[in-house]
Amino acid sequence: MSSEPRIIKECFARLEADPAGAMSYFYGRLFAREPQLRALFPPAMGEQHDRFFRALTRIVWSQDSPADLASHLRRLGRGHRRHGVRREHYPAVETALLATLRTYAADVWTAEAEDAWTRAYRSAAATMIAAAERDAADHPPWWVAEITAHDRRAHDLAVLTLRPERPLPFLPGQHVSVQTARWPRVWRPYSIANAPRPDGTLSLHVRARPAGWVSGALVRHCAPGDTVLLGPATGAMVLEPGSARGLLLIGGGTGLAPVKALAEQAAASGRRLHLLVAARTGAGLYDLPALRRLEEAHPGVRVVPVLSRSPRLPGGLHGRLPDVLPGFLDDLQGWRDHDAYVAGPAPLVRRTVTALQRHGMSLTRIHHDLLAAEN
């Protein structure tokens, strides 16, 4: 490759010195020139600034890994469909982005830099547009789904059952973005908590975050009969096709959702699995009866509740999951040949991945979607 990636990074470093300023400038330019685009974005733009800057960062730093870059851009292009982004919107973004770079990277901005950025932007836009248009041939940009059950399991937690108006294809372990009527244009990702069902319904486990817009609306202000919008299923934390290896499935809090979906899928094909579900107290094990039913129905399934702040339950463990995991693994034959899937609070996922690695599990066998969730 040429010196272009170096020039692109050098200019971008000037934006990295003041991302908040650069993003305010960028969106200011964009909406001043194309006011009608404002309607595609949520009322509060703070998160959008962060999201766009993270996306740009990833694109800039992937300039010398074309395969990674292309797959990221394709995902991004498909994901933009639910926001109503179309081919004709891209030139306005190019103009605002170049204006921002010209201003923030003035000391290193040259004709060569302008050329490199223009080429990189147009190539990225072309990949995103092509992926979005291919996707449009097969899928709608979003699905309208009716809430058919709303089961409040705690003051801040609900399990929702949704029936999309048309089939929404997904693999266990993937997540969908959700938009509620209360907060137009605000999307939040939720893992699907079940393997595909004959009736096409999906379950979501939702904890209302303090001051959380979408989570609060889903837990406290939704009822059966209401509708939500769902984006397409995405995420790579899925079972390897054809693998029959044993599984170690680990879910903390509502991180149970994706590992429950994986457990349902794996149990149906007779795979041996251990599902460790972490909560502070027994009251936090909001889905234990359903997990016990899965265990009873499938001899290869073992459910292990892990309580960090109350005594252990029968067949369970007491302590913080990453701390008690090594002792648990020592008693589990052949675990190094298992595949591990971990979901839950980010610190729990990070500490659990480290504990698994230190104990001798290869990183290639450990799956989580922390990076995807953060991007």
Ligand X SMILES: NC(=O)C1=CN([C@@H]2O[C@H](COP(=O)(O)OP(=O)(O)OC[C@H]3O[C@@H](n4cnc5c(N)ncnc54)[C@H](OP(=O)(O)O)[C@@H]3O)[C@@H](O)[C@H]2O)C=CC1
Residues that bind ligand X (CB under 6 A): 191, 207, 252-255, 257-258, 278-280, 284, 308-309, 320-322, 343-345, 347-348, 351, 369, 373
Q: Compare residues 212 and 300 and give the one whose CB is closer to ligand X.
A: 212
Q: Compare residues 59 and 275 and give the one whose CB is closer to ligand X.
A: 275
Q: Compare residues 69 and 355 and give the one whose CB is closer to ligand X.
A: 355
Q: Is 369 within 8 Å of 235 (Cβ atoms)? A: yes
Q: Compare residues 291 and 321 and give the one whose CB is closer to ligand X.
A: 321
Q: Identify the burial level of 175 via C-beta atoms within 10 angstroms of its C-beta, where 0-12 means exposed, 13-18 middle and 19 or more buried.
A: buried
Nearest approach in angstroms of CB 367 to ligand X is 10
Distance CA 297, CA 310 (A): 28
Q: Compare residues 196 and 252 and give the one whose CB is closer to ligand X.
A: 252
Residue closest to ligand X (Cβ): 253
Nearest approach in angstroms of CB 58 to ligand X is 19
Nearest approach in angstroms of CB 202 to ligand X is 14
Nearest approach in angstroms of CB 308 to ligand X is 3
Q: Identify the burial level of 218 via C-beta atoms within 10 angstroms of its C-beta, where 0-12 means exposed, 13-18 middle and 19 or more buried.
A: buried
Distance CA 305, CA 251 (A): 10
265: how many CB neighbours lie within 10 A of its CB? 19
Q: Compare residues 30 and 257 and give the one whose CB is closer to ligand X.
A: 257
In angstroms, the first-to-last Cα distance of the chain is: 26
Nearest residue to 192 (alpha-carbon basis) of 369, 375, 371: 369
Distance CA 359, CA 355 (A): 6
Nearest approach in angstroms of CB 281 to ligand X is 9
Nearest approach in angstroms of CB 148 to ligand X is 21
